[in-house]
Amino acid sequence: MRVDLHLKLPSRDAADDAAAALAPAGPYRAAPTVIRFAVARDGTALGPENAARLLSRIPRGALTAVESYASTRPVPVATTPPLAVAWDTALAELPADWSDALLELDLDSTDFVEKAAVLCIQANPRRVGDRAALRFRAARKAGYGIAPGMARRCLERCDHAGITGTIKVLRVLSDTDHVHTQGPSWILDGQTI
């Protein structure tokens, strides 16, 4: 579903400010004090969560849905398990003596990135370029990384918020001995992790 929105503002200056705030939505002027832009969940326009965030920066205005129509792109049906279940599956595939792991939370939408980062703050997630993905470390016994139980709790919060995606294990080490360090480091894509 795609919805074309019409935002009427009280003055030309207010319209200028609103157009700047809505820049990621690709707005255009339909009149000196009217801005139009589209919202869609399928990636053909700005997602509704991001639109709401941008609109919250505009103090005044009247928002109207001008037109809505079915998207030309098929809406994907969720076939992935909840993130907490995906976490359990990923842990079950690790060696029994694993000690440190580098993981990636690959989100189904860029709309989920900010919220997932907040809900998983204990994991110290790091965004992967412009992709809808967050990387984090886990440590089973000691060292730098989130404890497995806390990671599962973070992912349960994401599930509860309707955030979907997959978990990938990028690197894993077994039975490491942290001698005067917080654990191993990896160099991935030119960055020390």
HSE, CB side, 13 Å, CA atoms: give it for residue 127: 12
Give the pLDDT score at 193.
67
Determine what percent of the chain is predicted with pLDDT higher than 70: 93
Dump pLDDT digits (tens) for 126-175.
Answer: 998 889 999 999 998 877 889 999 999 999 999 999 999 999 999 998 87
Give the single-character DSSP code of 15.
H
Alpha carbon distance 141, 147 (integer Å): 8
Helix, strand, coil % in the chain, rounded to nearest 5: 30, 30, 40
* Contact in structure between 75 and 42 (CB atoms under 8 Å): yes
The predicted model scores a pTM of: 0.57
Instruction: Report residue 22 as tokens.
Output: 């809505």
Helix orientation angle between 148-160 and 83-92, rounded to the nearest 10 degrees: 150
Q: How far is CA 48 from CA 25, 51, 64, 115, 132, in A?
A: 10, 5, 14, 13, 16
